[in-house]
Amino acid sequence: MAEAVNIKRLAQELNISIATVSKALNDSYEISQKTKNRVWNLAKELNYTPNPAASNLRSNKTKTVAVVIPCVANNFFSLSIKGIEEIARQYGYHVLIYQTHENIEAEIAFTNSLLNGRVDGILTSVSSSEYNSEYYTNLVKKIPLVFFDRVYENLDAVRVTTDDYEIAFQATEHLIECGCTRIAYLFGLENLPAGKARFAGYLDALKTHGIAFIEQLVVKYHDDEEFNLQQIKELLEKHKPDALFSSIEEFIIPAYRACRELSLQIPNDVKVLSFSNLSTAALLNPSLTTISQPAFEIGREAAKCLFKILNNKQLDDEQNIILKSVLSKRESTGC
Amino acid sequence: MAEAVNIKRLAQELNISIATVSKALNDSYEISQKTKNRVWNLAKELNYTPNPAASNLRSNKTKTVAVVIPCVANNFFSLSIKGIEEIARQYGYHVLIYQTHENIEAEIAFTNSLLNGRVDGILTSVSSSEYNSEYYTNLVKKIPLVFFDRVYENLDAVRVTTDDYEIAFQATEHLIECGCTRIAYLFGLENLPAGKARFAGYLDALKTHGIAFIEQLVVKYHDDEEFNLQQIKELLEKHKPDALFSSIEEFIIPAYRACRELSLQIPNDVKVLSFSNLSTAALLNPSLTTISQPAFEIGREAAKCLFKILNNKQLDDEQNIILKSVLSKRESTGC
DNA sequence: CCGGTAGGCGAAAACGTTTACGTAATTAAA
DNA sequence: TTTAATTACGTAAACGTTTTCGCCTACCGG
């Protein structure tokens, strides 16, 4: 559109070589302060900005990272992205977004398309459909990668996670303290470490308090709102749980609907507790007891790790950063 | 990391020129089917993917668009991004994300940094802090740009918006039909066409029904949760409105809190209605009457427009696409 | 007066594509 | 049979940087 203003143009106007201009722009020690000032002034005057493609091609750096996640329209992930983006700004990086929709093939396809130098590194929260450890084992050898929340374990890559086991244990104990003994478990992310840890926390809390685990009280998540609703209604009718412990946010709406449609009072007839990052949890009817993950902080931490790696800084701590979730007790567990 | 596989390598292995390989990969008519097949097979076998930087540099196209929005952690914007990303996948484009945090200087800085060929086009929902028409007047001459939801008018650029005036009129009428006469207006986006249209719809509905506009019943949004809460409490105490009509989602939590803290019953003492894309509106206590915008569709439409422009397809319709919002009547307006 | 050593700068190659243009061989038209 | 057109491919330049290497000047110690 506009007449190109590039390094060559600057060189001509100043009667110096393009090499000198380039070095001056990059504040090289080889160039005198006087020349640098001349270059910087003219660059500002002509509104020069370097061409990213040329720079990327030559230097093999893009100052860009990719975020690969299941879906951006989710409180947890949108908060994570917010955190990532803020840190990226500080480090001068650009952020590409890819949604997998929980489809591992899409996930692999996108990720592969990033390996030709499009990005310097990847931040990912993997899809729940499958646990394909082999793919990621190879991937982490090819490009700097940081997992957040939904991770692969035992790989040579940084992971940023939360205290899923502990907080699930604690939440289950809370329900037990409220007098519940038939605590149903709404099971999500069952293929992933996070999902397994949450379930383990639930099981261990039961065991610790001498409550038998009842398999019929477990409902697994399906990507079908109506189906989940029916499952929960069936659960409530057939097995009369006195609490619903949901391991993912997606169960909240069907759980509330199911109780409403069956005329069950929360928390009198059945108590409800869920992992959730909904900002409106306190305004629900009744207000919902939640386990909220520090999504924003997770994004920030993951991004910080990646940029440290990209800048060849040592990661002082170990490879697994664990942030604390928060249990907020509200009316839905009523005690 | 891995040994580079580029078109030069393919050319050597097949004993043909790199020009032929390049053309074959791009399915050029100049190349015989036989040669194309040989190239394609070897490319697949060696896992060749073109280097984006080189391609961008030479062709001056990036197959990348930027999304510039106030904040990704917002139901409306995260849904929009979801829509944009899905369409981008279909067209084979990549999506960069930039958050302005409602800061027009950041907005301009980011946008300027995209003009050196980093992206082929921009999708933006502008910040509410200021209406800087001059900047965008120049910008749209330099790069294909589509506005969505928060737009600048009278520019040579496509806009995707909603029926803000009509739906606000309709919502105000709904409150009037419920018997309200002192309808307070919680005013957001006042610098932007969307905000002005909503307010105009409110005013005109009042006038149509012979209700005088009371200036004291207007509260303007500030980026300070506590301040907004205090303002609403003051409003409720001093001016006794019988309804709160909020033009933005951000007022919901303080509005509910204010009513709770002042022991005002919704909807008996005061009715509440808000623009909102909260998925949990129906689960609130009481359930919230909302105007929801088709955020996902807005993102999709905006992206489609941009990609049509980038592919030099004619935009059949005019430059302003208007999608319909939905008024969902619930308990908070109780009638 | 000579050798060495910085400091400051330029020439040119390289990164991996795309593409304008040229050319040879084959086919179609005259 | 000659000419024109078409098909299929190659040569080489170009995109805008970064970076290696080398050159020149000035200066300093001996």
Q: How far apart are CA A213 and CA A216, in angstroms?
A: 9
Buried b (16+ CB within 10 A) or exposed e, A20-43: bbbbbbeeeeebeeebbebbeebb
Average the pLDDT over each of A81-85, A281-285, B327-331 and give the range with the smallest value: A281-285
Residue range A184-195, pLDDT digits in tens: 999 999 999 999
Tokens of A154: 């035992």
pLDDT bin (cut points 50, 70, 90) of residue A312 is confident
- CA angle, B260 then B262 then B265, to 5°: 55
Residue range A203-231, pLDDT digits in tens: 999 999 999 999 999 999 999 999 999 99
Which residues in chain B (278-317) have CB-CB distances under 8 A to chain A? 278-280, 283-287, 296
Residue B208 CA from chain centroid, whole number: 31
- Report chain B residues whose CB lies below 8 A from the CB of A51: 57, 116-117
Tokens of B227: 């301040």
Percent of chain B residues topping a pLDDT of 90: 91
pLDDT bin (cut points 50, 70, 90) of residue B130 is confident
Nearest CB among A64, A73, A112 relative to B79 is that of A73
Greatest Cα pair distance in chain A = 86
What does the pLDDT read at residue A316? 63
pLDDT bin (cut points 50, 70, 90) of residue B177 is very high
Residue with CA nearest C1' of nucleotide C15: A58
Nearest CB among B2, B79, B82 relative to A99 is that of B82
Q: How far apart are CA A231 and CA A222, in angstroms?
A: 10
Domains in chain B, start-ordered, CATH in brackets? 7-50 (no CATH), 64-161+295-323 (3.40.50.2300), 164-293+327-333 (3.40.50.2300)
What does the pLDDT read at residue A1? 42
Would you call B76 an interface residue with chain A, using a CB distance cutoff of 8 Å?
Answer: no
What does the pLDDT read at residue B158? 95
Residue range A269-308, pLDDT digits in tens: 999 999 999 989 998 989 999 999 999 999 999 999 999 9
Q: How far apart are CA A164 and CA A198, in angstroms?
A: 5
pLDDT bin (cut points 50, 70, 90) of residue B150 is very high
The amino acid that residue B89 corresponds to is: R
- From residue A205, how far is each of A174, A200, A212 by CA, in Å? 10, 8, 10
> What's the CA–C1' distance between A286 and D26, in Å?
83
Would you call B35 an interface residue with chain A, using a CB distance cutoff of 8 Å?
Answer: no
Q: How many of the other CB atoms lie within 10 Å of CB of B226?
A: 9
Q: How far apart are CA B180 and CA B200, in angstroms?
A: 18
Q: How far apart are CA B201 and CA B86, in angstroms?
A: 33
pLDDT bin (cut points 50, 70, 90) of residue B15 is very high
Quick check: A125 pLDDT over 60? yes
Would you call B46 an interface residue with chain A, using a CB distance cutoff of 8 Å?
Answer: no
Would you call B61 an interface residue with chain A, using a CB distance cutoff of 8 Å?
Answer: no
Residue range B46-67, pLDDT digits in tens: 999 999 999 999 999 999 999 9
> What's the CA–C1' distance between A60 and D19, in Å?
13
Would you call B79 an interface residue with chain A, using a CB distance cutoff of 8 Å?
Answer: yes
Quick check: B1 pLDDT over 50? no
pLDDT bin (cut points 50, 70, 90) of residue A162 is very high
Q: How many of the other CB atoms lie within 10 Å of CB of B158?
A: 25
Q: Which helix (H) or strand (E) holds A321?
A: strand A320-323
Residue B284 is classified by DSSP as B
- From residue B289, how far is each of A49, A75, B188, B198, B244 by CA, in Å? 49, 21, 18, 16, 11
> What's the CA–C1' distance between A274 and C7, in Å?
67
Nearest CB among B97, B142, B285 relative to A283 is that of B285
Residue range A37-80, pLDDT digits in tens: 999 999 999 999 999 999 999 999 999 999 999 999 999 999 99
> What's the CA–C1' distance between A5 and C11, in Å?
22
The mean pLDDT value for B213-229 works out to 95
**Strand, coil or helix: B24:** helix
**Beta carbon pairs, A and B, within 8 Å:** 134
Q: Which nucleotides of D are covered by protein (CB under 7 A)?
A: 7-12, 14-21
Residue-averaged pLDDT of chain A: 94
- Report chain B residues whose CB lies below 8 A from the CB of A89: 99
Q: How far apart are CA A52 and CA A62, in angstroms?
A: 8
Q: Which nucleotides of C are covered by protein (CB under 7 A)?
A: 7-12, 14-21
pLDDT bin (cut points 50, 70, 90) of residue B316 is low
Q: Is the dihedral angle over the CA atoms B79, B83, B86, B89 positive or is it negative?
A: negative
Q: How far apart are CA A257 and CA A237, in angstroms?
A: 14
Residue range B75-126, pLDDT digits in tens: 999 999 999 999 999 999 999 999 999 999 999 999 999 999 999 999 999 9
Question: Beta carbon of A18 within 7 Å of strand C?
Answer: yes
Quick check: A3 pLDDT over 70? no
Average the pLDDT over each of A278-287, B61-70, B159-168, B293-302 and give the range with the smallest value: A278-287
What does the pLDDT read at residue B3? 61
